[in-house]
Amino acid sequence: MAASKVAISIDRELLAQLDNLVVEQMFASRSQAIRVAIEEKLARLRRSRLARECAKLDPAAEQAMAEEGMSGELAQWPEY
């Protein structure tokens, strides 16, 4: 994957915290720390979007759709 350079402005306090993570060898560089933070934030946003979309679903309608056509099949299932 080709990388692109970007410039950002960051609060000095936040930058100091970031530099401490690099000094403590939690990350190899500022770039790696920022890249990981962005990846994690984007993943969280994707998951929360999925949760918001799922919340829009009507549970009764989803249940009915899931059970549609299963009444004939239930007799064929083994007894547990």
Are 22 and 28 a contacting pair, CB within 8 Å?
A: yes
61 within some domain: yes
- Model confidence over 28-74: pLDDT tens digits? 999 999 999 999 999 988 888 888 888 888 888 888 877 776 666 66
Three-state secondary structure call for residue 4: coil
Count structural domains, the chain. Answer: 1
43 within some domain: yes
Parent domain of 60: 12-65
52 within some domain: yes
79 within some domain: no
pLDDT of residue 46: 85
Q: Which one, of 14, 21, 50, 46, lies nearest residue 36 by Cα?
A: 21
4 within some domain: no
49 within some domain: yes
pTM over 0.75: no
31 within some domain: yes
* Residue 69 Cα distances to 61, 65, 73, 80, angstroms: 14, 9, 8, 21
At 7, give phi and psi (nearest 5°).
-110, 135
Task: Say which residue, 77 or 38, is predicted with more confidence.
Answer: 38
